[in-house]
Chain A
Amino acid sequence: MTATTMRVGQRANLFADRNFKWLVIAPSIIVLLVVGIYPLVYTGIVSFQQITMMEEDTSWAGFMNYAALFSDGRLWESFGHTFLILAIALPIELVLGLLMAQLFLEKLPGKQVFIALLIIPTVISPIVAGSTWRLMFDNQYGPVNQIIGWFAGEPTAILWITRPEWVYPAILICEVWQWTPFMFLILLAALSNVDRSLIEAAEIDGASFWKIFFRITLPVIRPVMVIAILIRALDLFRIFDIIWAMTKGGPGSITETISIYTYIRAFKEFETSYAGAIAFLVIILLSVIVIFALKRVEIAR
Chain B
Amino acid sequence: MDDVTPKDAPAARPAPAKSWRTRAQRAFPVVLLVVLCAIFGLLSDRFVTIGNLLIVMQQSAVLLVAAVAMTFVIVNGSIDLSVGSMIALSALAAASLSDTMGVWAILPAMGVGLLCGLVNGVLFAYGRVPSFIVTLGTLVIFRGVVLLFTRGAPVSISDADFLNLYAGRLGGVPNTVIIALIATAFGALIFNHTVFGREVRAIGGGERVAALSGIYVARVKLGVFTLCGLLCGVAGLLQSARTMAATSQLAQGLELDVIAAVVVGGTPLTGGIGRIRGTILGVLIIAILSNGMNMTGVDPYLQSIVKGLVLIFAVFLTIDRSKILIIK
Please indicate whether A and B come from the same complex rather than being unrelated chains. Answer: no
Report B's interface with A, CB cutoff 8 A: none
